[in-house]
């Protein structure tokens, strides 16, 4: 098994809330240096999956997995303390809603570097020098000023860039970006995504990009996985999946990406129905209720296919 070459390797991950299954039998891997897109509707379990990878699952949920490797270390084989230190030292996290991820009562300079100081055993001056350098890299011309601000004195886009700089402090092997552009307007969104691309190509950092925006993932990721109701229904190289989508859900998602050619009177397209939040441990296909091609066999069983890294779970051939 080539665990050590992959930045993330997850095998048969299940997450339960008591009797309720939230994520079932999920396996995925993120290769070193790639941008991996995780897409799906709200409630499909994208964030929970990402949180399992970085040891941040809420205490009330139960996790089982055969293997979770994050940045070269199996999280299941080490103690909670070691897990926390390993993740802190090797993973950067860029959250969705940026308002309170930075502590509102602490100046940027007093929170941006504390992970660096703790893990790399460096002094505060050195941490601030590095922070200034990174803030400059993420597009601030006057990083020293930014360091003296409180988070609420910055705009949403500025805060997100501070988060990105903070995620880069420890030279991580992996960055998890959970809907990183959702709260931003489209100009800033583009800037932030270009920044990710740049970080990825210049520093070789793997990025797990969680998004419900398929257009974004198509443009920026090398590989992707499509999640539905706590399962991965299709995964593979982005180009391959987009040019040859196998699962009806993926096909529908691609079909409804809003294009600029849309007419004013034309309603936005959608997939009818909702992602179910119960019965996710059923043996059949979970998309059956909304699938235009549903067959009788789909309620009992969904066949898994894998062809040169292109995986999908559907009875259609």
Partner 1 sequence: MLRYVINRIKGSIIVLFAVSLITFFVLMIIPGNPAQLILGTDATPEMVEDLHVAMGLDKPLYQQYFGWLSSLLRLDLGTSYVYGESVTALIAKALPVTLSIAVFAMIIATVLAFLLGMLSAVKKNSFIDFFSRSIMQLGTAIPSFWIGMVFIVFFGLRLKIFPISGYVPMSQSPSGFIKSITLPSIVLAIGEIGTLLRIVRSSMLDSLKQDYMDMAKIKGLSSWKIYMKYALRGALIAPITIIGMQFAKLAGGTVVVETIFALPGIGRLVLTAVEHRDIVLLQGLVMFITSTVVFFSLAVDVIIMLINPRIKSVERGE
Rule CB under 8 A: which residues touch partner 1? 54, 56, 84-89, 91, 93, 95, 97, 99-106, 114-115, 118-119, 150, 152-153
Minimum Å distance from CB 120 to partner 1? Answer: 12
Minimum Å distance from CB 105 to partner 1? Answer: 5
Minimum Å distance from CB 202 to partner 1? Answer: 23
- Complex with partner 1: residue 60 or 265, whichever CB lies closer: 60
Burial of 301 (0-12, 13-18, 19+ CB in 10 A): exposed
Instruction: In whole angstroms, give the CA distance from residue 156 to residue 97.
Output: 9
- Complex with partner 1: residue 106 or 297, whichever CB lies closer: 106
Minimum Å distance from CB 40 to partner 1? Answer: 21
Minimum Å distance from CB 90 to partner 1? Answer: 9
- Complex with partner 1: residue 89 or 182, whichever CB lies closer: 89
Token pair 């992602």 is found at 275
Close Cβ partners of 212 (under 8 Å, ≥ 6 residues apart): 39, 40, 41, 42, 46, 179
- Residue 29: count other Cβ atoms within 10 Å of its Cβ: 19
- Complex with partner 1: residue 205 or 302, whichever CB lies closer: 205
- Residue 59: count other Cβ atoms within 10 Å of its Cβ: 5
Compute the C-alpha angle 223/303/232, nearest 5°. Answer: 35
Minimum Å distance from CB 215 to partner 1? Answer: 27
Instruction: In whole angstroms, give the CA distance from residue 177 to residue 182.
Output: 11
Minimum Å distance from CB 286 to partner 1? Answer: 29
Minimum Å distance from CB 138 to partner 1? Answer: 17
Beta bridge partners of residue 17, listed in sequence order: 20
Token pair 């020293």 is found at 144
- Complex with partner 1: residue 118 or 237, whichever CB lies closer: 118
Q: Is there a contact between 19 and 81 (Cβ–Cβ < 8 Å)?
A: no
- Complex with partner 1: residue 99 or 257, whichever CB lies closer: 99
Question: Which value, to the nearest 10 degrees, does the dihedral of the CA atoms of residues 262, 265, 270, 272 take?
Answer: -160
Ranges of beta strands (E only) in the chain are: 6-17, 20-31, 35-39, 62-64, 67-70, 73-74, 91-94, 174-178, 206-211, 223-228, 231-237, 304-307, 310-313
- Residue 52, SS3 per DSSP: helix
């Amino acid at each position: 098994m080539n665990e050590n070459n992959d930045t993330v390797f997850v095998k048969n991950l299940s997450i339960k809330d008591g009797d309720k299954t939230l994520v079932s039998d999920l396996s995925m891997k993120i290769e070193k240096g790639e941008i991996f897109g995780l897409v799906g509707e709200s409630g499909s379990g994208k964030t929970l999956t990402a949180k399992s990878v970085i040891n941040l699952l809420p205490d009330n949920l139960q996790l089982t997995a055969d293997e979770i490797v994050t940045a070269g270390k199996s999280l299941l084989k080490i103690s909670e303390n070691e897990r926390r230190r390993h993740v802190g030292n090797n993973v950067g996290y860029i959250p969705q809603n940026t308002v309170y991820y930075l502590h509102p009562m602490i100046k940027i300079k007093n929170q941006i570097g504390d992970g660096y100081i703790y893990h790399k055993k460096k002094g505060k001056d050195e941490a601030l020098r590095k922070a200034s350098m990174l803030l400059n890299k993420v597009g601030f011309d006057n990083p020293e000023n930014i360091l003296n601000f409180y988070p609420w004195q910055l705009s949403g886009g500025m805060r997100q860039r501070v988060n990105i700089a903070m995620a880069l402090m420890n030279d991580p092997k992996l960055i998890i970006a959970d809907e990183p552009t959702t709260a931003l307007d489209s100009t800033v969104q583009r800037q932030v995504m270009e920044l990710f691309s740049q970080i990825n190509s210049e520093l070789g950092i793997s990025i797990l990009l969680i998004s419900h925006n398929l257009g974004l993932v198509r443009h920026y990721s090398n590989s992707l996985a499509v999640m539905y109701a706590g399962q991965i229904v299709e995964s593979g190289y982005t180009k391959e999946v987009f040019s040859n989508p196998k699962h009806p859900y993926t096909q529908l998602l691609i079909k409804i990406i809003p294009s600029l050619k849309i007419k004013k009177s034309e309603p936005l397209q959608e997939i009818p129905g909702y992602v179910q939040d119960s019965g996710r441990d059923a043996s059949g296909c979970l998309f059956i209720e909304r699938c235009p091609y549903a067959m009788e066999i789909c309620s009992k069983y969904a066949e898994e296919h894998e062809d040169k890294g292109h995986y999908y779970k559907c009875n259609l051939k």
